[in-house]
Every structure is written in C-alpha cells, then in structure tokens.
Amino acid sequence: MAGNTFHKLRDEIENGIVTGEFEPGERLDEVQLATRYGVSRTPIREALMQLGAIGLVEIRPRRGAVVVDPAPDRVFEMFEVMAEMEGMAGALAARRHTEDDHVALVQAHAQCEEAATSEDTDRYYYENETFHRAIYAASHSGFLEEQCVALHRRLRPYRRLQLRVRNRMKMSLKEHGEIVAAILAGDAEAARALLRGHVAVQGDRFSDLVASLGKREGKRLSLG
Amino acid sequence: MAGNTFHKLRDEIENGIVTGEFEPGERLDEVQLATRYGVSRTPIREALMQLGAIGLVEIRPRRGAVVVDPAPDRVFEMFEVMAEMEGMAGALAARRHTEDDHVALVQAHAQCEEAATSEDTDRYYYENETFHRAIYAASHSGFLEEQCVALHRRLRPYRRLQLRVRNRMKMSLKEHGEIVAAILAGDAEAARALLRGHVAVQGDRFSDLVASLGKREGKRLSLG
DNA sequence: GTCAATATTTTTGTATACAAGATAGGCGAG
DNA sequence: CTCGCCTATCTTGTATACAAAAATATTGAC
C-alpha cells in the first residue's frame, strides 16, 4: 500500500466533513470508517488525530471523535477573523503584487463575471475561491496564504449557504471589481477595507447565517 | 494507562520543540521517542501527526518527521500575521472588555512592571505572556483567542531571543502601558495600532531577528 | 582508487491482538 | 412502576508483529 494512505484518508474525511457528508455533531466510528475505506483502524486514527489538531473534529478521550458543531456565535467569530485576514492579504497584495499577480487577479475576476452573467451559482462558488486565492498569492506571504486557505476551507459550508441568498452573487461580483481596482491601484487601506466588508457577516447576511444555522440545529435536534 | 497518553505526549514533544530541546531541522525518531517516554510507537505517531497538522513538524512520507526549520522570511511573515491578529484582539478588547477584563489587564500589567523593575527577564517573559492572554480574553472572541494563543506559542523561541536585546524590556513595558490605556479608554483603533507596532518586527528588531536566525542557521550548517 | 550495483540494515507504514474504560441493558429492591 | 446497581458488550487506546521502502554498507568491476 502507498506510503501516504493516511494522508489521503485525512483529505477524504476532511472533504466529507466540509461537504456535509459527515454532519456536524456526527460520531465518527473508527471501525466503520476503517471498513468503509478498506483499511485498518491505525491510519484512520492518525487521520482523525490530524483533523482533531486543526479543529475539524473533536476527540474526546475514550469516547471517540465527533465532527465539531460550532455554536452560531463561534461561526460568527470565525468569519470575523477571516475578514481581518483577508483584509490583511488585500493590503499586502496592493503593495506587493507583481505583473503575474495582476494577470491572475484580472483573469480570476473575469471568470467570476462569466459565472455570474450565466447565473451559474456552483461555478461562481468555484471561481470565487480561485479569486480569493489569487489575492492570497499576491500578498506574497506564504504563511498568511496558508492560514487564509485553511480558514477559507473551514468556512466553506457556511459560505455556500450564503451564496443562495438573493442577489448575493451580483453584489459579490461588484465588490470583487472594487477590490481588484484598489489592489491594482496600490491602495492598501482601501483594499483592506473593501475585503473586510466583503467577507464580514453583517446586516442581512448575519441574520441569514443565524437562520441557516438555526435550521440545521433544529434538524439535528429533531433527529436526536 | 490513562486514556489520554497521546495527548500528554503531544504536549511533551511540542514543549520540547518550543523550548528548543529538539532543535529545528532535527529528525524525530519514533523508536527513540518511544523508548524515551516508555511507550510504544503508536501513541508517538499519533502525537507527531497532530504536531504535523499544526505545522510544528514536517512529516515526509516514508522518511520520518523533522522539526520544522522555517526560513527567516517565513518567521518574519509569522510575526507579521501575529501583529495583525494582536491588533484585532486589542481593537475588540477596547470595544468589548468587561469589569473583570479591566481588572485582569491592569493586574497583568502590574506584574510585568514588577518583573521589569527587578530586571528579571525570565519573569518578565512569563508575565508578558499572561498580559497578552488577558488581551485575547478581553476580545471575547473564543476563536480569535485560540488562534492567537497558538501562534503566540509557536513564536515563543524567537520572542525569547528578542527580549535579551538591550532595553527591550523597558520599551516593551512602556508600550504595554499605552496599550492598556487605549483599551480601557475604549479606543479600538489606537489599541490596534499600538499592538501592531508592539508585536511587529521592525527596524532594529528586524536585524536582531535575522541575526539570531542567521546564527542558528550557521550553526546548523556547520554541523551538517 | 573510484564508481556502481547489490545486499543488508534500519525505519516507516499498516494490520492485528489485547487490555481497559465507557455504554447499555437487564435485574432486583423499594 | 421506577430507580439504581451490576453485568455484558462495545469501543477506544496501546502494544506488538509484519511488510515495504529508504538508507547504508559491501563487494566487485573498471
């Protein structure tokens, strides 16, 4: 068997969590996962340990692993931090972007625009991710980029819900345009402010988020 | 044996890395660690997996784990992000601190002052950590607090070096005073700016950092 | 003497076995 | 009928065993 089985298992399980295949609060049984992936418990445990370390699952001693089910205010806090980090990435990108970054950013923005005009929510969701990663890359801070990618990934399920909201896609695209302009103009503080606002969960989006979380919570309770 | 042996092992090894017992770039042999801690390889591996997930060790497939040895510019990036996150914590603390936070902050600052006047660098180092944690707590963002504590911990070895620099302790204490004042006055942006400056590695401190890293690098090279 | 190919040794990765704690179900007392 | 305790079962945690890959040493050819 390949040397990095546990690595693939980690990604597999992580993906299952992020896509919602494993629901928040769900217990992750080791033998069940082991038989499912056709391996023994050992690599499963190692994968779970890694996921536990990055906070995707909670490992309760002698009581197994469960998918973390963050309280609504915790999710809000995560968006709050994400907004600040994206703002930082934007500010650095404005100061440090190269010719290549310029091209990548404009291109990613164009792809978003295409997805938005064809009203393809799923594609916009994907291109949006590329756009944000282009900003992280343009910040030329490898560490910041890693942190942003990790947090962005962790917030994926919640962001997906938000895109369904009416007109959010058009609004998002418009904000992207302003962000690109600020970065390319080298205006660090404008880029920071715009990205903060773009990512932050405020106003209507806050109530939408809480509502979606509440719904999930209710569903979970009704099942239990 | 207790159910959370691997948990203790993780903390043990992590501490060894942060305190420099395990040097950057050092290979962490599984059987060696196992015999050292009197356990089998299994919990050692699980601990290493967790440390790998948070970026303290690098796990190269089929080739074992080594303590990560970040390049100087990577360390700089980490301080850069830390500065921003501390700034954010300070800004939130200014807006959200309670009576209890007020007391904790003032007390932590007083302890720092005592350590500084008695010129006790080790104690200042310790009290400084308490002070910063008081700010994280006052931000009333559990997620931000966790992120800050983790990064703060990871930067420990580098910060320790910095405190040795002439007059850094007095300077640090003075900055603490201004930070406390800004937070208690509820001036979020002042608190943010002051904390950014306090944590950031700029001017002389930058050359000091690079010099210390360079020294270590040289040592490592001479050994290899 | 040096380089390369091969054999040996070491070390990682995975599976399995076993021990101990947690959960659940049944049994008895009130 | 309900509550609490005790036992049976299940699950996790750790150790050990084995397989495969990498590192190292050895031997042979040029």
- Residue A183: φ, ψ to 5°: -65, -50
- Burial (0-12, 13-18, 19+ Cβ within 10 Å), B32: exposed
pLDDT attached to residue B2: 41
**Which of A21, A24, A11 shows the shortest CA–CA distance to A216?**
A24
Nearest to A50 among B50, B84, B88 (CB): B50
Q: What is the pLDDT of residues A143-171, one digit of tens each?
A: 999 999 999 999 988 887 777 777 889 99
H helices, E strands: number in chain A = 11, 3
Please give the average per-residue pLDDT across B206-212, as a whole number. Answer: 76
Region A170-194 average pLDDT: 97
Establish, for the pair of chains A and B, how many residue pairs have beta carbons separated by less than 8 Å.
75
| Residue B201 Rama label (left phi>0; alpha psi -120 to 50; beta) | beta
Contacts of residue B7 in chain A, CB cutoff 8 Å?
61
Count of residues in chain A: 224
CB contact under 8 Å between B144 and A46, yes or no, is no
pLDDT of residue B216: 58
Q: Are A177 and A109 spatial neighbours (Cβ–Cβ below 8 Å)?
A: yes
Question: According to the model, what pLDDT value does residue A208 have?
Answer: 75
Q: Which nucleotide lies nearest residue A6, CA to C1'?
A: C13
Q: Which strands form B57-60's sheet, in the order they lie side by side? A: B27-28, B64-67, B57-60
pLDDT in tens, B21-67: 999 999 999 999 999 999 999 999 999 999 999 999 999 999 999 99
A223: confidence class by pLDDT, cuts 50, 70, 90: very low
Compute the mean pLDDT over every residue in chain B, rounded to the nearest whole number.
90
Minimum mean pLDDT range among A76-85, A96-105, A157-166: A157-166
Q: Is the dihedral of CA B182, B185, B190, B191 positive or negative?
A: positive
d(CA B3, CA B147): 26
Q: What residues in B contact A3, CB-CB < 8 Å?
A: 61-62
> Over 90: is that where the pLDDT of A190 sits?
yes
Whether residue B170 has pLDDT greater than 70: yes
Closest-CA residue to B111 (of B92, B94, B132, B82) = B132
Q: What's the CA gap between A81 and B205, in Å, rounded?
A: 27
Q: How many CB atoms lie within 10 A of CB A22?
A: 20
Write down the pLDDT at residue B76: 93
φ, ψ for residue B182 (rounded to 5)?
-65, -45
pLDDT of residue B33: 97
Confidence of residue A124 (pLDDT cuts 50, 70, 90): very high
Using the CA of B29, which nucleotide's C1' is the nearest one? C11
Contact positions of strand D to protein Cβ (< 7 A): 11-17, 20-23
Residues of B with CB under 8 A from a CB of A: 3-4, 6-7, 42, 45-47, 49-55, 61-62, 74, 77-78, 80-81, 84-85, 88, 141-144, 146-147
- Nearest CB to B50: which of A6, A49, A147? A49
Which residues neighbour B196 within 8 Å (Cβ) at sequence distance 6 or greater?
B83, B84, B86, B87
Compute the distance between CA of residue B43 and CA of residue B15 in angstroms, rounded to an integer: 17
pLDDT score, position B81: 98
Residues in chain B with CB shorter than 8 Å from the CB of A77 are 141-144
Q: How far apart are the first and last CA of chain B?
A: 40
Which distant-in-sequence residues (6+ apart) come within 8 Å of B170 by Cβ?
A: B116
Task: Report all structural domains of chain B as residue ranges with CATH numbers, in order of start.
Answer: 5-67 (1.10.10.10), 72-216 (1.20.120.530)
At B3, the pLDDT band (50, 70, 90 cuts) reads very low
To the nearest whole Å, the CA of A46 is away from the closest chain B CA by 6
Which own/partner contact pairs does A198-203 have at CB distance under 8 Å and 24+ positions apart? A198/A83, A198/A86, A198/A172, A199/A79, A199/A82, A199/A83, A199/A86, A199/A87, A200/A79, A200/A80, A200/A83, A201/A76, A201/A79, A201/A80, A201/A83, A201/A162
Contact A200, A158 (CB under 8 A): no
What is the average pLDDT across B211-217?
A: 67
CA atoms within 13 A on the CB side of B19: 7
For residue B12, name the pLDDT band (cuts at 50, 70, 90): very high
Average pLDDT, chain A: 90
Is the predicted pLDDT of residue A30 greater than 60, yes or no? yes
Residue B210 pLDDT grade (very low, low, confident, very high; cuts 50, 70, 90): confident
- The residue-averaged pLDDT of B129-143 equals 98
* B222 has pLDDT over 50: no
